[in-house]
């Protein structure tokens, strides 16, 4: 790999404009209309416009008394029109030409539609002329009094219309819209124009992240930024993306978690830190996984996992409150804290459910995780032993419980069972903390003092999705090192390529990290829950897609 050679910013020969044969006739027609707008003395691509109101704000300026007064007296001598005059802008979504009166509906992010009427009598000549040749998709600036039609629809009765941008692309169908998922994700701008709910979901996501920041700051957490590019990854078990740094000719990895750096900051003396940022995991893509996603990790010195449970539950309840108000405002919710997610109705007002890992296991399987004999037998019967063996790249022969038992921790098989049937025992409509995972599964977590096989860790599940874990953080460098070494032993070659011992992290722990509670939250999945989006792609503006052919 070498550096890209420097290119002049402008090519010696500019790309030739498309020839007539290359332009689709629908685009050609729009280019003609653009030229006609220019002939009216208007810049088809507009310019600065001051004093613009959103469509929503413009509609809210409607004054019924002034409108009635105007309707009654418009032909009277000396009549003064007191209707509020607005200047607003939006993209044309409907266009109806009645001859000397043109009706259009504009859309912006504040309002799906606001009607505009442009009459030959009352509008400027250029404004009327422009409205005659406006195409669906064009962006227009409209000025005029706000009134209501006979049918009662709020309308800007244009005195002037100016061009702001030309749309050269034929629009989606005006009623059924754009529904092809591939086009929606690849050309998000088309999707957002055609499907306002897309913009709404992304808008809500922005508000959720913003509120989360304010919430954390309100609790005296400091927002920090840690490296995305790292010589080694850590803090989670996931395959990383690999890249290369030219200057030092070295391999670098994209981070798979922010944990180890945030803890270093605690060692340094920052008592409460959080980071909201992009995480990259080189794994499968499906409705709940995107290769890059956003997490919030937070660490609170002198807290523990109970501290983080309270923080998490309070935060999510506030986010649900914000979301309920958002959807009520958008006209699709009743404002209650019971939010829909697909077929589910999830009540965020009630205290979240709490169960322990062992309770959940026993409820689903009828015996305790400590009963290793039954766990191995049950796992074998369910075909989970072979599944785990495949995990170890030991495929090619039939693996029996007797082959594996003794070679791996019993709890790894217990956890296979738990994930298979334990999690299924959760009520998906009830946010649930699952407390106290086996220590063997939680290398960065402090074991319970009176039961070291159990780690002070919980996972939060909502709608069957793992929203995030929290720990009472392990701050004993010797135990931490032992757990790291245990994790590294028994790994096959491929996995060990990506796992390594973070010596500097251990060195930091030796300096001394205060006892702490730590938390990780999947922001995308929270956004899914709060916006009733069944696919993670609906809350990511530009989700990963295979490149077009």
Partner RNA sequence: GGGGGCGUAGCUCAAUCGGUAGAGCACCGGCCUUUUAAGCCGUUGGUUGUGGGUUCGAGUCCCCCCGCCCCUACCA
How far apart, in Å, are the Cα atoms of 233 and each of 156, 191, 260, 508? 57, 36, 9, 16
Q: Give the interface segment with RNA, choosing from 52-60, 94-102, 325-333, 425-433 (CB under 7 A).
A: 94-102
CB of 515 to RNA, least distance (A): 21
**Stretches 44-52, 138-146, 279-287, 301-309: which one binds RNA (CB under 7 A)?**
279-287
Q: Does 532 bind RNA (CB under 7 A)?
A: no
Q: For RNA, what does the binding mask look like between residues 307 and 346, x meaning CB under 7 A?
A: ----------------------------------------
CB-based contacts of 150: which residues, under 8 Å, 6+ apart? none
User: Of 37, 67, 103, 520, which lies in the binding site for RNA, with binding defined by CB under 7 A?
Assistant: 103
The phi-psi region of residue 236 (left if phi > 0; otherwise alpha if psi is between -120 and 50; otherwise beta) is beta
Q: Note whether 151 binds RNA by CB under 7 A.
A: yes
Q: Which is nearer to RNA, 370 or 441 (CB)?
A: 441
What's the min distance (Å) between Cβ of 250 and RNA?
25
Please identify which residue in 62, 185, 193, 435 interacts with RNA, judged by CB under 7 A: 185
Smaller CB separation from RNA, 178 or 316 = 178
Q: Does 18 bind RNA (CB under 7 A)?
A: no
E strand or H helix at 384, and its extent?
helix 384-391
Instruction: Confirm or reject binding of residue 535 to RNA (CB under 7 A).
Output: yes
Residues contacting residue 350 through CB under 8 Å, at least 6 positions apart: 430
Pick 225 or 283: Cβ nearer RNA = 283
Q: Residue 338 in 3-state DSSP? A: strand
Sign of the four-CA dihedral 391, 395, 401, 403: negative
Taking CB under 7 A as the criterion, the residue among 39, 49, 79, 149 binding RNA is: 149
Q: What are φ and ψ of residue 218, in 5° steps? A: -60, -25
> Which one of residues 391, 405, 430, 448 is an interface residue with RNA (CB under 7 A)?
391
Q: Which of residues 20-79 bind RNA (CB under 7 A)?
A: 24-26, 29, 33
- Listed in order, strand segments (DSSP E) in 226-332 are 229-230, 242-245, 250-254, 272-280, 292-301
User: Does the footprint of RNA cover residue 214 (CB under 7 A)?
Assistant: no
Size of the site for RNA (CB under 7 A): 66
Residue of 106, 136, 164, 434 interacting with RNA (CB under 7 A): 136
Kindly tell me which residue out of 182, 225, 329, 353 binds RNA, with binding defined by CB under 7 A.
182
Cα Rg of the chain (Å, integer): 30
**Least separation, in Å, of the C-beta of 324 and RNA?**
26
Choice between 324 and 465, CB closer to RNA: 465
According to the binding rule CB under 7 A, does residue 295 interact with RNA? no
| Cα-Cα end-to-end distance for the chain | 24
Considering the complex, state which of residue 44 and residue 171 has its C-beta at the smaller distance from RNA: 171
Site for RNA in 224-263 (CB under 7 A): 236-238
Least distance (Å) between residue 464 CB and RNA? 11
Q: In 3D, which of 21, 29, 17 has the Cα closest to residue 138?
A: 29
Q: Is 11 helix (H, G, I), strand (E, B) or coil?
A: coil
| Secondary structure element (H or E) that encloses residue 267, with its range | helix 259-268
Q: How far is the CB of 217 from RNA (least distance, A)?
A: 30
Q: Is the dihedral of CA 399, 403, 406, 408 positive or negative?
A: negative
Alpha helices in 53-180 (DSSP H): 55-60, 64-73, 125-133
Cα 307 to Cα 317: distance, rounded to the nearest angstrom: 16
Asked whether the beta carbons of 393 and 492 are under 8 A apart, the reply is yes
In this structure, the chain runs to a length of 549
Burial pattern 495-513, b for ≥16 Cβ within 10 A else e, equals eeebbeebeebeebbeeeb
The strand ranges marked E within 131-225 are 139-148, 154-157, 160-165, 222-223
Residue of 79, 82, 100, 363 that binds RNA (CB under 7 A): 100
Measured from the CB of residue 145, what is the shortest distance to RNA in angstroms? 11
Minimum CB distance to RNA smaller for 221 or for 475: 475
Looking at beta carbons only, is 43 or 182 nearer to RNA?
Answer: 182
Q: Please, which residue, 315 or 521, has the CB nearer to RNA?
A: 521
Report 471-500 residues binding RNA (CB under 7 A).
487
Near RNA by CB under 7 A: residue from 79, 244, 251, 287: 287
| Contact (Cβ atoms closer than 8 angstroms) between residue 420 and residue 382 | yes
Taking CB under 7 A as the rule, does residue 269 contact RNA? no
Q: Are strands 432-435 and 353-356 parallel, antiparallel or unpaired?
A: parallel
Q: State which residue, 228 or 408, has the beta carbon closest to RNA.
A: 408
* 173 is an interface residue for RNA by CB under 7 A: yes
The yes or no reply on residue 107 touching RNA (CB under 7 A) is no
For residue 347, list its beta bridge partners. Answer: 338
> Looking at 281, 446, 457, 525, which residue binds RNA (CB under 7 A)?
281
With H, G, I as helix, E, B as strand and everything else as coil, classify residue 134. Answer: coil
In the numeric block, which tokens belong to residue 441?
């599964």
Contact present, 337 and 429 (Cβ < 8 Å): no
Considering only residues 418 to 447 of the shown chain, the ones binding RNA according to CB under 7 A are 419, 441, 443
Binding site for RNA (CB under 7 A): 24-26, 29, 33, 94-101, 103, 105, 115, 117, 119-121, 135-136, 149-153, 155, 170-183, 185, 236-238, 281, 283-284, 286-287, 289, 387, 391, 415, 419, 441, 443, 487, 535, 537, 545-549
């Amino acid at each position: 790999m070498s550096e890209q050679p420097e290119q002049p910013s402008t090519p010696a020969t500019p790309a030739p404009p498309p020839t007539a044969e290359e332009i689709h006739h629908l685009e050609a027609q729009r280019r003609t209309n653009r030229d006609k707008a220019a002939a009216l003395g208007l810049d088809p691509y507009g310019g600065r416009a001051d004093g613009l109101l959103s469509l929503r704000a413009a509609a809210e300026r409607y004054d019924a008394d002034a409108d009635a007064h105007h309707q009654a007296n418009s032909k009277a001598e000396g009549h003064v029109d007191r209707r509020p005059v607005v200047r607003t802008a939006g993209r044309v979504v409907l266009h109806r030409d009645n001859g000397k009166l043109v009706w259009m509906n504009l859309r912006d992010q504040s309002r799906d539609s606001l009607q505009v009427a442009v009459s030959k009598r009352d509008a400027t000549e250029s404004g009327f002329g422009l409205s005659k040749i406006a195409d669906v998709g064009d962006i227009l600036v409209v000025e005029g009094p706000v009134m209501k039609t006979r049918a009662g629809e709020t309308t800007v009765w244009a005195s002037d219309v100016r061009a702001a941008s030309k749309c050269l692309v034929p629009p989606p169908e005006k009623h059924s819209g754009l529904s092809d998922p591939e086009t929606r994700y690849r050309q998000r701008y088309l999707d957002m124009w055609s499907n306002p709910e897309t913009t709404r979901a992304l808008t809500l996501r922005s508000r959720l992240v913003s509120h989360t920041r304010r919430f954390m700051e309100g609790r005296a957490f400091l927002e920090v930024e840690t490296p995305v590019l790292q010589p080694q990854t850590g803090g989670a078990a996931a395959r990383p993306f690999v890249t290369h740094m030219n200057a030092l000719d070295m391999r670098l990895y994209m981070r798979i978690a922010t944990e180890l750096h945030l803890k270093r900051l605690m060692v340094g003396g920052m008592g409460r830190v959080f980071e909201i940022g992009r995480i990259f995991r080189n794994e499968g893509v499906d409705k709940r996984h995107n290769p890059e996603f956003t997490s919030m990790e937070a660490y609170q010195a002198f807290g523990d996992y109970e501290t983080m449970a309270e923080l998490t539950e309070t935060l999510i309840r506030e986010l649900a409150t914000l979301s309920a108000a958002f959807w009520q405002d958008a006209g699709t919710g009743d404002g209650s804290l019971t939010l829909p997610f697909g077929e589910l109705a999830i009540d965020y007002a009630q205290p979240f459910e709490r169960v322990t890992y062992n309770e959940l296991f026993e409820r689903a399987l009828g015996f305790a995780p400590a009963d290793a004999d039954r766990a191995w037998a049950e796992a074998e019967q369910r075909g989970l032993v072979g599944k785990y063996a495949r995990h170890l790249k030991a495929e090619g022969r039939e693996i029996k419980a007797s082959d594996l038992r003794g070679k791996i921790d019993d709890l790894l098989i217990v956890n296979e069972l738990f994930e298979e049937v334990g999690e299924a025992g959760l009520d998906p409509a009830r946010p649930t903390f699952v407390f106290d995972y086996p220590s063997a599964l939680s290398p960065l977590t402090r074991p319970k003092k009176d039961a070291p096989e159990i780690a002070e860790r919980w996972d939060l599940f909502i709608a069957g999705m793992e929203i995030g874990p929290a720990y009472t953080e392990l701050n004993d460098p010797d135990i931490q090192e032992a757990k790291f070494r245990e994790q590294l032993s028994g790994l096959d070659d491929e996995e060990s390529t990506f796992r390594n011992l973070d010596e500097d992290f251990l060195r930091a722990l030796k300096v001394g990290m205060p006892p702490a509670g730590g938390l990780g939250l999947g922001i995308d999945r929270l956004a899914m829950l709060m916006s009733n989006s069944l696919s993670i792609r609906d809350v990511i503006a530009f989700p990963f897609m295979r490149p077009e052919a």
